[in-house]
Structure 1
């Protein structure tokens, strides 16, 4: 009986995930709305972290053992609009890399599951 390939294997494994992450951050850092979130970030470390996280989401062999997502994003003031924009960019990058729709929808579903841990609603309405 043949083993069923994971999404991680279907996208091409570690090298493909790294390429997706590299492309993701090129686009994110080129966006004037999103670039400020990365101003004081050690980008190589963040990219490694993101590659492990995405690999884990896709069923890769290395489990994500980083900080809990809510803790890692606390205090960043991430808005619903910016979270959705990052998600849309990730989906586009995945599709551009040849990910099939099942993989894309799995990632979209995961983004929906973790949204509440990452998005910070403003404590007051700006007036």
Structure 2
């Protein structure tokens, strides 16, 4: 059975990432998170990360997710919004529901590394 990566291919992953960031950056609630960010570099990291999540040969060599998102103050609401935008981009590029659900599962698994914990909350 083909991996999710083999089902969609690298070119589609790049298209998904481009579409995803276009939507994210157009959102007035989310755009401030990306002020002064090297967007081409971020997109490359996101392509590698998504390819890795989908079972591709790319190895994600970026920063640990918790380290990369530390002190950004990402809220649960914004995390859910961004996740929804990624899912929508995948569906628009023809990803099947099994692949989409795999990504949703991974988003749930990494949520704690990205969403800011309230002050005094146990990690």
Q: What TM-score do the two structures reach when normalised by structure 2?
A: 0.95
Unaligned runs of 5+ in 1: none
Give the gaps of 5 or more residues in structure 2. none
Runs of 4+ in structure 1 over 2 Å off: 121-124
What is the Cα deviation at residue 121 of structure 1? 2.8
How many pairs align? Answer: 120
Question: Does residue 76 in structure 1 map to residue 72 in structure 2?
Answer: yes
Q: Where do residues 1-127 of structure 1 align in structure 2 (5 Å cutoff)?
A: 4-11=1-8, 13-123=9-119
1:31-70: CA deviation from partner (whole Å, max 9, x where unpaired): 0000000011000000000000000000011111211100
Q: Give 1 or 2 for the bigger CA radius of gyration.
A: 1
**Whole-Å separation in 1 of the counterparts to 2:61 and 2:85:** 24
Distance 1:81 1:122 in 2: 14
**TM-score w.r.t. length of structure 1:** 0.92
